[in-house]
Amino acid sequence: MVAQLSHLIYRTEQVRSGEQAAAAAIGLSMAQLMQAAAQACLQAIQDHCAAPARVAIVCGPGNNGGDGWVLARLAQAAGYQVTVYAVPPTTKLAQQAQAAWQAEGGRWQSSIDSLHGYQILVDAVLGSGLTRPLAGFYLAAVQAINAAANTAWVLSVDVPTGLNSDTGQPQPIAVTAAHTVTMVAIKAGLVTGKAKDYVGQLSLAELGIGAAFSKQSPMAELVQPELAQRWLAKRKPSSHKGDHGHLVLIAGGPGMSGAAILAGRAALRSGAGKVTLVTHPHTLAIIAQAQPELMVHGTDEKGLIPWLEQADAIVIGPGLGRDAWAQQQLQQLLDWLTELSGPLPPVVADADALNLLAQLPQGEPSPNLRQWVLTPHPAEAGRLLRSVMSTRFADENMTAVVEADRYEALTQLVTNFNAQVLLKGAGTLIAGPAHQIERILVCDRGSSALATAGSGDVLSGLLGALLAQHRQPSAAALHELVATAVWVHAVAGENAAQAGERGTIASDIVNELRALVNP
């Protein structure tokens, strides 16, 4: 990867139009770009397995297939045993590449019975050219590649065939690659949602036009480790607990003390100077005994106000429940924020707080969520979307709607709630209101170890602690602090799963936080 583009994310159409302009600007032809793409794929093959391994290259009719035809020549010249399976090429460049392969004695087959017996399979079928569900040769090609993938290493050229390069959704299936070499720039659909099941290791080949292409404005960018270093600077030796923020955590309805404890522990391990946990009277004793460093209070006739007035940041939701008590806590918070004349403290809404927000009566004035961070997983995001766009989605499976286009769902949530939104999932997405935040942030770290009960509670406690330590952050700072928390949480999940992802629990993630918040 090159410095200009390694962390930047683009829509497919941006790449298609921009690569031609960038190539023209520096005097490169599209044929030269195709040669460079094939060379990058050959390098990936050589890094994985030396010649004379048996290689099957499956070529589609367009320029993605053209990359495959050129790769066939290069791989054969490098000593690999190459067989090509293809449909007749339809673009001029692909036709020229096929002719060059045949001129060197290369042969190809137009039907695929089986791809078993090869050590390397190359998917050069459609790339980013997919516009409708797979059928015919394309569907057969994907099925044949996947059927042999358990005994072969699969390389996809640009984008795994069958994957929508803007949304990351399979159409309806996609090649399950071990490695994807994407060309010119990272496409939006390669880094989030279901794409994580198909892309494998992702590498970028900028084909010599990175500097020229970088003049294009990206729609998103990957969260970089340097962000954590910026927001988690070494503390002054003279600092005291008052310098590191007071987090107020509203959590823990009856029977759900565990979520509150996990969030509280995560906040403590993430460096909050003080953490006050306001909880249901029935769970107070359980939480107080579980973690002595937490200041635990049950709500009484005074409600939340005494604690809210002390807060540098607020988290509401872990284990909150949806009963009358929980509704009362959310409404008190909303009322207090509405009446507050001074600066608003940042508020993290998670879990049942999100579900309660989605249940607020329609037609009433929307609450002021300007300093809020909403942290939904796809199901919670779906409920929030339905609450503000109910007529459009009356009969839809809202979780599926969200996952069908995570970027669009994120944009709708930000627009309708005017808040920062953190859409959880593989490739977590982070965005704020358009007038405040230029581009979406995407976290490509993490693993399935995070798919465990309580993981989200850990994230909310971690995020609340970081916000409390940086009092009154600007919109841009809030955006970056959210991304920092997501990155730390994701890497903590990776580290906690060193002995195996299956069986990693939320407490294991908490145990990894201290090292990561002290970079």
Binding residues for K(+): 64, 123, 161
User: Length of the chain, please?
Assistant: 519
Distances (CA, A) of 482 to 99, 129, 225, 462, 485: 53, 34, 13, 10, 5
Asked whether 441 and 431 are in contact (CB, 8 A), the reply is yes
Residues making up the annotated binding site for AMP are 424-428, 456
**DSSP H/E element including 85:** strand 81-86
SS3 261: helix
Cα-atom radius of gyration of the chain, to the nearest Å? 26
Rounded CA separation 168/54 (Å): 30
Query: Are 273 and 293 in contact, with CB atoms under 8 Å apart?
Result: no
CB-facing half-sphere around the CA of 13: CA atoms within 13 A = 2
Q: Which of 336, 337, 383 is nearest to 360 (CA)?
A: 383
Nearest CA-CA partner of 174 in 199, 150, 151: 199
What is the Cα–Cα distance from 151 to 54, expressed in whole angstroms? Answer: 12
Three-class secondary structure of residue 374 per DSSP:
strand
Binding residues for (6S)-NADPHX, as ranges, are: 63-67, 127-133, 138, 158, 259, 319, 377, 457
Q: Which residues are annotated as a binding site?
A: 63-67, 123, 127-133, 138, 158, 161, 259, 319, 377, 424-428, 456-457
What is the per-residue DSSP string for 207-244? TT-HHHHTTSPPSEEEPPHHHHHHHSPPPPTT--GGGG
Q: What is the 3-state secondary structure (H, E, C) of 389-407?
A: CCCCCCCCCHHHHHHHCHH
Q: What angle do CA 3, 5, 9 make, to 5 degrees?
A: 145
Q: Is residue 485 within 8 Å of 459, Cβ to Cβ?
A: yes
